[in-house]
A and B are shown apart, each in its own frame.
Chain A
Amino acid sequence: MPKIMWKVSDNETITAQVPVGITLMEAAVQNDVPRVLGECGGCLSCATCHVRPVGQWYDRVGEPKDLEDDMLDFTEVEREDDSRLSCQITVTEDLDGLVLVVPG
């Protein structure tokens, strides 16, 4: 199972082995990652699963599609160039070692 890391503050990182096929939002909720709430269950209604893939990881996960891009305007912490909604990213073996910043 790929290893995913969420940097939730300067001195706290949550690390978990995550099954392939679920979304990064679901993985975060299962691991009680703060501020990744996923309140709409991944239907692009809420913008509460905001993450930023660190450095070259952004290129690996790719850019947001149209609707996700629109919803990123409604995040609680203002979006940056590398912002994503983690409900739109599915866990694959390729993402082993992924590091995500949780804004806020």
Chain B
Amino acid sequence: MTIWNPTDDGHADLSSHDSFVAGVPHNTFTRMRRESPLEWTEWKGGEGFWNVTRHKDILALNRNYALLSSAQGIRMEDQTYEEYLARRTFQETDPPEHTRVRMKVARAFSGPVIARFESQIRQLCRDILERALAKSEFDATREIARQLPMRMLGRILGLPDADLEWLVSKGDELIANTDPEFTDHVLDRMSSDEYRMMPFNSPAGAELYAYARQLMEEKNRAGDTGGILHMVLQPDESGSAISDREFRNFFCLLVAAGNDTTRYSIAAALHAMCRKPELLQQLKRADDGIWSTATDEFVRWASPTMYFRRTATEDFEMHGKEVRANQKVLLWFVSGNRDERQFDDPFNLDLRRSPNRHVAFGQGGPHVCLGIWLARLELKVLLQEFTKRVAAIEANGPHRFLRSNFIGGIKSLPVRISRA
């Protein structure tokens, strides 16, 4: 049984969020990889853009930040320079500026530091699963996948547990700003431009900023210098400190990035187990060794951040086409992760796949996911605890995808579970 079959006609409009409500239009990406690996999309919502869909091309371009800059935005939506300055984080900068800011937080998210959180993650997973599995029928995205990432980020940032549910919902509003189920301010349907200076173009950004400021003031009064927010606020060797605006945007980035990418990797893994019961049995039977490959295979399979956009700094030619300076170029990681040229049987989920050079974390360039170690560890520990407790999982109604051409995921996954 296949896990899921794309239904698009091979010519989906990638500029439209609606093209993704039935899942990723993989027939379109497969066609593009085969016959049109650099293809132009016209867009009535703004300037059109180039689509890069082959794994090899994504890797080659992602590292070339001199040619393809992140400093004019990383989503297809156009920004004025004023908006860019107001909303940017280090995601929207290039080296060497990017490297300078990233260094400030790299330690807190490095492999060895994250590994120390394993027992805390395991305890959070146990609590979440015991609560969810009290019922045999529930929405697995809502009750399991949605719960872990924000709670874990809250621990790392030193946030009070009582605030986490509120943060989860604000994170939804920020990044799922194109799905009316998550926000009243749907990005491509907004009539006013009142929020255009806010992070992610969303009023949730302002609320999150107010929250972060208050939190830091309280921590400063209490003399609390733990946690990574304090680390970010320290001046660097040259004495320059992060500005209020940079701090606000960085905090919003952490909330958004920590919230839904890991969530949708977990949801995709649980969905795959519903459709292909041998996956759960394989994980239950297997030795510990399987987790070193299974985790990344689930992330490849899920590819929640579907693309990042870059902007050409000069004209260049590729696959016989002319990309002009200042044109937008989208690196479709979700397509690279199904590239037949890179992966054997890419539409098959193979828990032993190795090597597995997927690009779901934006590998191959300076912006590779900062939370890569945390994401892998959360997914691994959650699935380990899940497979221990569950004998069988099956779909209990149709699942539904997020309305977004940027973040791909199953926002609702009704399941029926038998406990082990």
Contact = CB atoms under 8 A, between A and B. Distances in A.
Interface residues of A, number: 19
Interface residues of B, number: 23
B107 A40 contact: no
A76 B112 contact: yes
B106 A43 contact: no
Interface string B47-63: 00000000000010011
Contacts of A47: 110-111
A46 B112 contact: no
Contacts of A74: 106-107, 110-112
Given A45-B99, A67-B99, A70-B103, A40 B110 contact: no
Interface in A30-60: 32, 39-47
Q: Is the interface of A mostly helix, strand, loop or mixed?
A: loop
B111 A40 contact: no
A8 interface: no
A41 B355 contact: no
Interface stretch (B162-170, B214-222, B358-366, B401-409): B358-366
Interface string A52-89: 00000000000000010011011110100000000000
Contacts of B107: 73-74
13 contacts: A40-B365, A40-B368, A41-B62, A41-B368, A44-B366, A45-B99, A45-B102, A45-B365, A45-B368, A71-B106, A74-B111, A74-B112, A75-B112
Interface of B: 59, 62-63, 65, 95, 99, 102-103, 106-107, 110-112, 355, 357, 361, 363-368, 372
Interface of A: 29, 32, 39-47, 67, 70-71, 73-76, 78
